[in-house]
Chains A and B, each alone.
Chain A
């Protein structure tokens, strides 16, 4: 991604380049967010839910999330399952093989915190965030595929804040000042009538 980074940095410094940068960011984030290819790092029972998510009932292809067997094809690593101390170097190595930009979803309690293996265990890593930068956590033992779907959509929202210029980010749509919800005003008016 060196070329894109250089382009982003150059546009950021050029007077008036911000207009082009913003438009370019919008296109890049739209395309990145809609093709989050998954690295299915399934090591335990959560992998069953991860596999179910790819098949016809949940069909994550419609989100553009296709599981790929090769880390070099992938954008997001879904760590689904218990990571032992012996497995951690292999996970880190696969993560390092993924091209930038890359994201991590910690799926299930084991990947979040160690889960039921938190106490009295000699071999389990307490959360994959001990050695990977996790973007989205999903609780559950195991979580339903709907939770994974929610995580993909949240990650897409997060991806839409990224800028190709180093060190810059775009505001989340939900963080932008809003003009207020008309529904809330209606409810207040109704409450006043009842009172």
Chain B
């Protein structure tokens, strides 16, 4: 299924998601509000996106952008879903109940960015030690053990 067929299929089944669909670098992207993410993810799973490829986040310095990669084995198609959460209170609904694969992926995003996934069954740090202070992939992360690269290298 190519990207135009995917758009038609999406629009015929869920017309309210249709205006959010765009194409970036040849991939279908849905940009939705954070509070609507779980509802839209349920629709997309029912549409046939039965596999969650990855969950990650981007620190844009103004806010955090969650990125979900959904894939469909029946349609042979993939789609990105993006949602933005504010930096001062980064909270979003967990999709662990839709795709169990989200469990550890969301734990990693929590570990690195400090984004809280409400409804997650076991939201702990996964890669760093349990007593770690701060979230290292935030752009404003400070750690006295980091040695900054000098300009001449």
Interface residues, chain A, with chain B CB atoms under 8 Å away? 85-86, 118-123, 126
Taking a contact as CB atoms under 8 Å apart, the answer to whether A121 and B146 are in contact is yes
| A-contact 0/1 string along B125-149, CB 8 Å cutoff | 0011100000010000101011111
Contact of A120 with B149 at beta-carbon distance under 8 Å, contacts A86-B128, A86-B129 already known: yes
Residues of A within 8 A of B149 (CB): 119-120
Q: Are A122 and B129 in contact (CB under 8 A)?
A: no
Instruction: Please state if B147 and A119 are interface contacts (CB–CB under 8 Å).
Output: yes
Contact: A119 with B153, CB < 8 Å?
Answer: yes
Contact A123 B136 (CB under 8 A): yes
Nearest opposing residue in chain A for B129, CB measure: A86
CB contacts (< 8 Å) of A118 on chain B: these are 147
Tally of chain B residues near chain A (CB < 8 A): 12
Q: Is the CB of A122 within 8 A of B146?
A: yes
Question: Hey, which chain A residues are within 8 Å of B145, CB to CB?
Answer: 122
- Which residue from chain A places its CB closest to the CB of B141 in the assembled complex? A122
Closest CB in chain A relative to B150 CB, distance in Å: 8
How many Cβ-Cβ contacts under 8 Å join chain A to chain B?
22
Instruction: Identify A123's interface contact among B128, B147, B148, B153, CB under 8 A.
Output: B128
Contacts of A119 in B (CB 8 A): 147-149, 153
In Å, the complex CA distance between A126 and B147 comes to: 10
Identify B129's interface contact among A85, A120, A126, CB under 8 A: A85
Q: Tell me the minimal C-beta distance from B152 to chain A in angstroms.
A: 12
Interchain CA distance A119-B149 in the complex, whole Å: 5
Given contacts A85-B129, A86-B128, A86-B129, contact A122 B143 (CB under 8 A): yes
**4 residue pairs, one from A and one from B, having the closest CB atoms:** A119-B149, A122-B136, A122-B143, A120-B149
Give the residue name and chain of the B residue nearest to A85 (CB): B129
Closest residue of B by beta carbon distance from A114 = B147
Taking A85-B129, A122-B145 as given, write out 5 further A-B residue pairs in contact, using a Cβ cutoff of 8 Å, ordered by the A residue number.
A86-B128, A119-B149, A120-B146, A122-B143, A126-B147
Given the complex, which residues of A lie within 8 Å of B148, measured CB to CB? Answer: 119-120
User: Which residues of B sit under 8 angstroms from A85, Cβ to Cβ?
Assistant: 129
